[in-house]
Amino acid sequence: GQQVMQIPQYQHVQEGEDFTTYCNSSTTLSNIQWYKQRPGGHPVFLIQLVKSGEVKKQKRLTFQFGEAKKNSSLHITATQTTDVGPYFCGGATNKLIFGTGTLLAVQP
Amino acid sequence: DTAVSQTPKYLVTQMGNDKSIKCEQNLGHDTMYWYKQDSKKFLKIMFSYNNKELIINETVPNRFSPKSPDKAHLNLHINSLELGDSAVYFCASILGQGNTEAFFGQGTRLTVV
């Protein structure tokens, strides 16, 4: 069945350092979505990528969708303490399967 | 006006009990999901319903039974609760079957003692 893996599972950075999480699907995706979950909260949609090779930016966040539409990455430049939390990718085919998540900790 | 609402937010119960979690969305979406988030924060799909019909059942014990009385509601009933069922359960709804963003409920933290 469809599987979506994320690495790393956990990342601890100093405030101001960059951070990247990678997402890999076992199947070709129609789109990939990224979510952030604030501590104690629920996942909130960040962005959706649809086209092969697509790159989108949101302020300090850069999202990429691989050429084969099976992998994606989220890069945060100059992390801030407000960036903490699990980040999930969601791979969509005929259903939305979430990756295992990357838990980001940012030390001031 | 909450788009996806789950009740209850917290649920503490003893092993062996039967409990239900309710979910309602007012977005007019076709598809609703149940996800389980364990202590490691992994978000695992459990069930998906599209227009009241079950379309996904991901190797979930048959103690878990979803029910969708209409496309705005997806409830989760759990029989004979076990310690390992302790987790946060999230309901989510999507327009279509995965081509648009998912809206999550606030989650139900289930603790089985």
pLDDT per residue as tens, chain B (113 positions): 679 999 999 999 999 999 999 999 999 998 999 999 988 888 888 988 888 888 777 778 999 999 999 989 999 999 999 999 999 999 999 987 667 899 999 999 999 99
Distance from CA of A32 to the nearest CA of B (A): 9
Q: Tell me how far CA of residue B97 lies from CA of A30, A62, B14, B51, B57, in angstroms.
A: 11, 26, 36, 10, 14
> Cα(A34)–Cα(A53) distance, rounded to whole angstroms?
16
Chain A contacts to B (CB-CB under 8 A):
1, 9, 30-31, 33, 35, 37, 41-45, 48, 86, 88, 90, 92-98, 100-101, 103
Beta bridge partners of A58: A61
Determine, for residues B98 and A94 on separate chains, whether the beta-carbon distance falls below 8 Å.
yes
Asked whether the predicted pLDDT for residue A23 surpasses 80, the reply is yes
Distance from CA of B63 to the nearest CA of A (A): 22
Distance from CA of A22 to the nearest CA of B (A): 15
Query: How far is CA B90 from its chain centroid?
Result: 5
**pLDDT per position as a tens digit, A25-79:** 999 999 999 999 988 899 999 999 999 999 999 999 999 999 999 999 999 999 9
